[in-house]
């Protein structure tokens, strides 16, 4: 008789009454975890105090590591081990004050049986809100129920009422009255354009190039082929090592020519001499090679859009991808020819780039590019992190003005004077050890359409609405930039008919996509056409806030 070694599972731990377990997902980069740890400690103290005020104990599920210098879960394997010690039916609080890699905790959260609360500090200093929204989107994609809350002070009524509801019922209910289903669309040129472009995409199909899919831990940013392909869109999965290899083939004179073009266009570089902390000529030269290499690889594979997942892997080899990304998303940019010099690549048009290889943005950017081009509008798009915000007087009325920022790049046409109002500053060494310049500035006032494609209930959804980028006094702009990342571009955004908490509760992504219309009427028409296109493709469209539809 064979004697098998049958593993014996340890008995499941049992939670004491009125005890919740705190976990903290962090970055993959040790430097970022160390730098953000003091802010995380402040968040956790506030949470402990708030739960204690309700007679509850908030127990940390994993220790602070004195050798690492922080208490974050910094790998998927570690996250799995942490959740083995958490009672399966216990309430779990995922506390986020920094950018985090969702896959560090998603494995544990997927199989956890107890109620889950995600919580962040409403603060722009570190991107905790960005991390929270990315994690929420991942939980939504996997179909795992959760509640979410946020606060600037953790003593406000909104926050205290929320956690009271959660400890008593396991849920928090937020106001989503700003969301409504897409009604039957009125006949007219905008609807007809959207339908026609959808039919063209389904018939002719399109390819998006994805460099190192998923390597930043954004589970929510991966649109599975089974959902993507029915839209007429297919992935070309590419490697960042191939991008680096192609950069090595770009002649120095071609990179220098692209740099001269930017100088002539008015882009200002803030150079220094210290490679470790300052922007250098060499770093920008490498970025020009990346820009040229990206266009050539996209052309090789017939890509209608590309996404570079720069931060892991490539960050250890070469300067940041942000400046190239901003150039790719703009109609007017340094010309790049094919390798034999015989033709200009993507002449007179953007090559839409979806930052951090966010495939929800990829689909959105591709669609927006086609609609805006067909309507004769500027097709430049960008995604932003939903970073933070505060109220501020706008045209004599108190408005909640969001800080939208993205890691160093916007298309120049989103700035008041194009490249002439842009500055390139060095990316911070905490996240970007090899440096590299940004394409930074303050986005021009104007009417925009915002949107987000995401997965919920195993199908694709689109939230879409109208907003305005507003102008703020220079001193307020600088205060907001200093409170976040001053080297990154910023947009001051007022959402139409959506409060701060409505947006936070509803938004299923760390990113939001924006595109300008020349005026309100044109932006309304573009929104209608975009809604019609996605509806025709079978995506469930949700109108958010005040729209003309």
Model confidence over 323-335: pLDDT tens digits?
999 999 999 999 9
Q: Helical H runs in 28-176?
A: 30-53, 76-84, 103-111, 128-142, 157-169
Mean local confidence (pLDDT), 163-184: 98
pLDDT of residue 520: 98
Give pLDDT tens digits for 329-366. 999 999 999 999 999 999 999 999 999 999 999 999 99
Chain centroid, CA 12 distance in Å: 37
* 487 has a pLDDT exceeding 80: yes
Distance CA 478, CA 469 (A): 16
- Banded pLDDT at 508 (limits 50, 70, 90): very high
Mean local confidence (pLDDT), 17-38: 96
Using alpha carbons, list the distances in angstroms from residue 96 to 22, 93, 363. Answer: 10, 10, 28
Contact 150, 474 (CB under 8 A): no
* 443 has a pLDDT exceeding 90: yes
pLDDT of residue 37: 97
Identify the CATH class of 189-544.
alpha beta
pLDDT of residue 215: 80
Higher confidence at residue 8 or residue 412?
412
In 3D, which of 485, 490, 487 has the Cα closest to residue 470? 490
* 149 has a pLDDT exceeding 70: yes
21 phi/psi in degrees, rounded to 5: -110, 130
**Would you say how long the chain is, in residues?**
549
CATH of domain 19-169: 3.40.50.10940
- Banded pLDDT at 316 (limits 50, 70, 90): confident
pLDDT of residue 298: 98
- Banded pLDDT at 9 (limits 50, 70, 90): confident
Domain locations in the chain?
A: 19-169, 189-544
* 1 has a pLDDT exceeding 70: no
Distance CA 255, CA 74 (A): 37
Q: Is the dihedral of CA 259, 263, 266, 268 positive or negative?
A: positive
pLDDT of residue 243: 96
84 phi/psi in degrees, rounded to 5: -65, -25
Using alpha carbons, list the distances in angstroms from residue 182 to 232, 285, 382, 464, 536. Answer: 22, 47, 24, 10, 12
Least confident of 13-17, 34-38, 214-218, 334-338: 214-218
Burial group, residue 268, by CB count within 10 angstroms (0-12, 13-18, 19+): middle
Mean pLDDT of the chain: 96
pLDDT of residue 3: 85
* 305 has a pLDDT exceeding 70: yes
- Banded pLDDT at 408 (limits 50, 70, 90): confident
* 272 has a pLDDT exceeding 80: yes
């Amino acid at each position: 008789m064979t004697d098998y070694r049958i593993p014996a599972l340890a008995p499941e731990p049992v939670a004491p009454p009125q005890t919740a377990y705190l976990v903290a997902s962090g970055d993959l980069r040790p430097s970022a975890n160390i730098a953000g740890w003091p802010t995380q400690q402040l968040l956790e103290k506030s949470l402990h105090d708030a739960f204690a005020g309700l007679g509850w104990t908030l127990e940390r599920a994993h220790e602070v590591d004195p050798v690492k210098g922080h208490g974050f879960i910094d790998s998927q394997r570690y996250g799995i081990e942490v959740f083995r010690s958490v009672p399966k039916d216990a309430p779990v609080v995922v506390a986020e004050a920094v950018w985090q890699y969702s896959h560090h905790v998603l494995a544990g959260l997927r199989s956890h049986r107890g109620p889950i609360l995600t919580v962040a500090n409403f603060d722009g200093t570190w991107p905790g809100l960005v991390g929270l929204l990315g994690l929420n989107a991942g939980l939504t994609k996997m179909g795992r129920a959760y509640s979410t809350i946020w606060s600037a002070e953790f003593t406000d009524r909104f926050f205290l009422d929320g956690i009271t509801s959660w400890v008593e019922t396991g849920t928090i209910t937020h106001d989503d009255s700003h969301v409504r289903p897409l009604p039957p669309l009125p006949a007219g040129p905008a609807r007809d354009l959207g339908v026609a472009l959808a039919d063209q995409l389904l018939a002719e199909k399109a390819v998006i190039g994805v460099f190192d899919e998923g390597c930043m831990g954004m589970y929510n940013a991966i649109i599975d082929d089974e959902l993507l392909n029915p839209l007429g869109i297919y992935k070309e999965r590419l490697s960042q090592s191939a991008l680096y290899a192609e950069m090595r083939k770009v002649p120095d004179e071609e990179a220098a020519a692209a740099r001269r073009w930017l100088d002539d266009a008015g882009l200002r570089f803030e150079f220094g001499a210290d490679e470790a902390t300052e922007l250098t000529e060499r770093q920008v030269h490498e970025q020009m090679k990346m820009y040229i290499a990206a266009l050539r690889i996209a052309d090789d594979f017939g890509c209608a859009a590309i996404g570079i997942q720069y931060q892991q892997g490539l960050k250890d080899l070469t300067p940041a991808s942000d400046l190239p990304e901003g150039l790719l998303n703009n109609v007017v940019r340094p010309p790049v020819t094919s390798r034999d010099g015989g033709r200009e690549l993507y002449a007179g048009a953007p090559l839409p780039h979806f930052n951090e290889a966010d495939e929800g943005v990829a689909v959105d950017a591709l669609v927006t590019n086609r609609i805006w081009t067909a309507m004769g509008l500027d097709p430049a798009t960008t995604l932003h992190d939903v970073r933070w915000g505060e109220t501020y007087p706008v045209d004599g009325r108190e408005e909640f003005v969001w800080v939208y920022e993205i890691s160093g790049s916007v298309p120049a046409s989103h700035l008041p004077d194009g490249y002439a109002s842009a500055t390139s500053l060095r990316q911070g060494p905490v996240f970007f050890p090899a440096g590299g310049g940004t394409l930074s500035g303050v986005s021009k006032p104007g009417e925009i359409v915002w949107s987000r494609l995401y997965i919920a209930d195993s199908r694709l959804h689109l939230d879409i609405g109208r907003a305005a980028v507003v102008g703020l006094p220079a001193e307020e702009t600088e205060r907001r930039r200093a409170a976040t990342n001053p080297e990154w571009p910023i947009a001051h955004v007022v959402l139409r008919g959506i409060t701060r908490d409505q947006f936070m509760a509803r938004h299923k992504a760390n990113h939001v996509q924006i595109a300008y219309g020349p005026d309100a009427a044109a932006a309304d028409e573009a929104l209608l056409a975009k809604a019609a296109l996605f509806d025709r493709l079978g995506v469930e469209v949700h109108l958010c806030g005040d729209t003309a539809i």
